[in-house]
Structure 1
Amino acid sequence: MKVFTEQQKFTQPLVIIALSIALLVSLFLTFKDWNIIVTGNLSDKFKTLSGLLIVLLVIALFINLKLKTRIDERGIYYQFFPAHIAFKFIDWKDISSCTIRKYDPISEYGGWGIKINLFKNKETAFTTKGTIGLQLELTNGKKILIGTQKKEALQRTLESYQHKLLKQ
């Protein structure tokens, strides 16, 4: 039994730099108004700290965002945590085609993350970085793209389960 597993995170340098700059700016603005935090009423304190709190929440979100993929003899599992608390499962019998392809995240989906193609209603992408993904076409007409950074290992695993698609 061949099993493919992958876990991806948003670790691109531009994401880290942008979040760091946002944190530094919000810290600067918060400490610039430190007098309000010390002497102001609760409403003023909240207004002064709200920008920093929002930036910290966004940073916490990016730290916890994970795309997990697992492929085994039963089918394909994927989870984009924290949007998906548990793995989503697609049985091999529900897949009409399964290919690895190059995609353009900006023009096809408007970026990375959980994306729905606005022009093609039944097409969804789950990506964190890169331009290579596992394209699934389901028997119900839906299309799902799951990004990968392990193209060769994914290809070897799919080849070992190709017979599961041909049984239909």
Structure 2
Amino acid sequence: MANYIFKETQRFTQWWLWLLLFGVLTVVLWPLLGQEALDPSELRGIGIGLVTVLLAMVLLYSMKLETRIGNGRLQYRFTPFFWRWRTYDWGDIQSMELKTFDSLKDYGGWGIRTNFEHWLYNVRGNRGLLIRTKDKTFKLGTQKPQEAARIIQEFEAFKSQNHGG
């Protein structure tokens, strides 16, 4: 086995998403511009809107999907939702394949999603590794499909050597 290591860290860096959030922030702050005086209820509403948008921005900025595969195991985590690595030894994985999908149509969006058949952990794009274990099926989005395909070949070689195919 070549002990090839696949490492990937993905974040929500789509320009249109951040443009949308800054647009909402502008709408929330707009009443502060050009108004001589705002009554306390208006200021309270602006404050709640501002805190909500800023919390959404901080959450989105802090979210990242990290995947590590190699040395006979697969690990992933999606911070800040789970900090500990979820680890699967290759011997516990039944199959691993590269799939193309439509995150919006098939799962209703990005992030941590389910289509009631399996879980999806995806930040962007339409490619992912479909992983099947004895107890669980899940998909990890990837922006590196060529490197993922190499890991799948290494995984299949491991399975055929150690488990008779």
- TM-score range with shorter-chain normalisation? 0.7 to 0.9
- Measure how far apart 1:51 and its partner are: 0.3
TM-score calculated relative to the size of structure 1: 0.85
Q: Which residue of 1 aligns with 2:65?
A: 67
Query: 1:163 is matched by which residue type in structure 2?
Result: A
Cα deviations by residue, 1:1-46 (Å, 9 ceiling, x for unpaired): 211100111112221111110111112135567844xx74xx8754
Asked if the contact 1:30/1:52 (under 8 Å) is kept, the reply is: no
Match of 1:54 in 2: 52
| Aligned partner (choices 92, 112, 115) of residue 114 of structure 1 | 112
Quick one: structure 1 residues 53 and 131, their matched pair in 2 at CA, closer, same or farther if it must change by over 3 Å?
same
2:11 to 9, 22, 33: 9
Judged with a 3 Å threshold, the aligned counterparts in structure 2 of structure 1 residues 107 and 165 are, in CA distance, closer, same or farther, namely farther
SS at match of 1:87: strand
Which residue in 2 is equivalent to 1:132?
Answer: 127
Structure 2 spans left out of the alignment, 5+ residues: none
CA contact (8 A) 2:5 2:70 kept: yes
Q: How many residues are aligned here?
A: 160
Structure 1 residue runs of 4+, over 3 Å off? 29-36, 43-48
Cα RMSD over matched residues?
A: 2.0
